[in-house]
Amino acid sequence: MPTLTVIIASTRPGRAGLPIAEWFTERARVHGAFDISVADLAEIDLPLLDEPNHPRLRRYVHQHTEDWSRMVDASDAFVIVTAEYNYGYPAAIKNAIDYLHQEWAYKPVGFVSYGGVAAGTRAVQQLKQVVTTLRMLPVFESVNIPFHSQFIDEEGQVRANEIMDFAAGAMLDELRRTEEALRSLRTATVTG
């Protein structure tokens, strides 16, 4: 089975991103189309980009970059679980994306976003611009959760409604379809 990596973009203590990612990860396991792996950027704890060479060259000098490269390389598709900070994406996700280049190419990406009335969608729109530069394919289907705290109970567990559940399934279906279609491009060498 292809591997889907769920990336948790927010890193601050007490973040809503963790329970939301836990809910989505379980939903993805039940969906059954992917082996699921989780990349929690708080745990991975990458410093601000400290590689001397352009990531396209893959001449990494730090072990943390090698580890991150291996994880992204081993993934066939991604879901980025993202907060919206000041109408944009959290800095940690941009930093983590910038570390690598070819490892991202020709892989589909979906988004689970959350926030106030806009449900984090402004962060998603910004991220789409970044990921397409790396030849990733953002899928249209997405999970956007407005006023997300209403879905998190006292134990810190997400209680999803039907809309969230349905949206997650639709996004996972589309990720699987596009992952399969992009496979031949992934085997070709990426240049430029």
Residues that bind ligand FMN (CB under 6 A): 10, 12, 15-17, 83-87, 115-116, 118
Say if residues 95 and 130 touch (Cβ distance below 8 Å). no
In the complex, which residue's CB is closest to ligand FMN?
Answer: 115
Nearer to ligand FMN, 63 or 155 (CB): 155
Both tokens of residue 126? 């910004």
Six token digits for residue 13: 């203590």
CB of 49 to ligand FMN, least distance (A): 21
Largest CA distance in the chain: 50
Taking the least distance from each CB to ligand FMN, the nearer of 8 and 168 is 8
Smallest gap from Cβ 168 to ligand FMN, in A, equals: 18
Q: How far apart are CA 73 and CA 5, in angstroms?
A: 10
Phi-psi region of 178 (alpha: psi -120 to 50; beta: other; left: phi over 0): alpha
Cβ proximity to ligand FMN, 27 vs 176, nearer residue? 27
Minimum CB separation of residue 81 from ligand FMN in Å reads 8
Closest CB to ligand FMN among residues 150, 161: 150
Calpha distance 46→84 (Å, rounded): 20
Q: How far is the CB of 143 from ligand FMN (least distance, A)?
A: 14
